[in-house]
Amino acid sequence: NAGVMQNPRHLVRRRGQEARLRCSPMKGHSHVYWYRQLPEEGLKFMVYLQKENIIDESGMPKERFSAEFPKEGPSILRIQQVVRGDSAAYFCASSPVGGNTEAFFGQGTRLTVV
Amino acid sequence: QQQVKQSPQSLIVQKGGISIINCAYENTAFDYFPWYQQFPGKGPALLIAIRPDVSEKKEGRFTISFNKSAKQFSLHIMDSQPGDSATYFCAASMNTGFQKLVFGTGTRLLVSP
């Protein structure tokens, strides 16, 4: 039973390019969370999605960031026109149901904007 | 009010010693308090969690102590081992129907041989 799979593990983008981060939840999990970890800081909640629905995006920056979790395929976190301040580790977590059930984290995608 | 304050920022403990990490919160609506362990280059992994209806929870060498009136909780690692060297995060969430975690800033633990 594979864990939460994130790819790519490392991503380098030039300023102004787009970054697409993918997350395949654990088998049977239909709830996905995205968190961002800036250097030397804790993780910050970005967005919570269920299949085909964004439930809570209160932690998402208002511009340039979007997320989706389609009926088929992985969840995608998309960052348009990246800036240096977007450089961070982006973690995806999944859980089988809602509530305070354990969410399992992937290994993260480390985005570097040059 | 949404913050979780964690201390110390870093900690060095000798092998066999006790590691203690503390967290404090303000929001009394928090009702779930997990601790995560993160190794370099890896994602956080749930270590142990507690709800406010108990004051202590123990799993192996790891114990959470919870003080509801003081709004504080702590992680104790007994008989610390070099393999425990990692970054530890406390977190909290409310019963909102999903696990929206508020994380502390992390404690980097080094257990010396």
The answer to whether the beta carbons of residues B86 and B94 sit under 8 Å apart is: no
Distance from CA of A39 to the nearest CA of B (A): 10
CB pairs under 8 A between A and B: 68
pLDDT > 70: percent of chain B: 98
pLDDT (average), residues A74-85:
97
Q: Which of B4, B95, B100 sits opposite A56 (nearest CB)?
A: B100
Grade residue A103 by pLDDT with cuts at 50, 70 and 90: confident
pLDDT > 70: percent of chain A: 96
CB contact under 8 A, B101 and A106: no
Contacts of residue B104 in chain A, CB cutoff 8 Å?
42
Q: Which residue is closest to A46 within chain B, CA to CA?
A: B100
Measured CA to CA, the distance from residue B64 to residue A107 in angstroms comes to 25
Q: Which helix (H) or strand (E) holds B23?
A: strand B19-25
Measured CA to CA, the distance from residue A28 to residue A15 in angstroms comes to 37
Residue to test with chain A: of B94, B98, B101, B102, most A Cβ within 10 A:
B98
A1 DSSP assignment: -
Q: Comparing C-alpha atoms, which of B101, B24, B102, B13 is closest to residue B61? A: B13
CB contact under 8 A, A42 and B46: no
Per residue in B46-99, pLDDT (tens digit) is 999 999 899 999 999 999 999 999 999 999 999 999 999 999 999 999 877 677
Per residue in A2-11, pLDDT (tens digit) is 799 999 999 9
CB contact under 8 A, A101 and B99: yes
What pLDDT score was predicted for residue A99?
A: 67
Residue A29, both tokens: 């999990």
Residue B102: CB atoms within 10 A of its CB come to: 19
Q: N- to C-terminal Cα distance for chain B?
A: 39
Per residue in A24-52, pLDDT (tens digit) is 999 989 899 999 998 878 899 999 999 88
Distance from CA of A14 to the nearest CA of B (A): 22
Residue A59: CB atoms within 10 A of its CB come to: 16
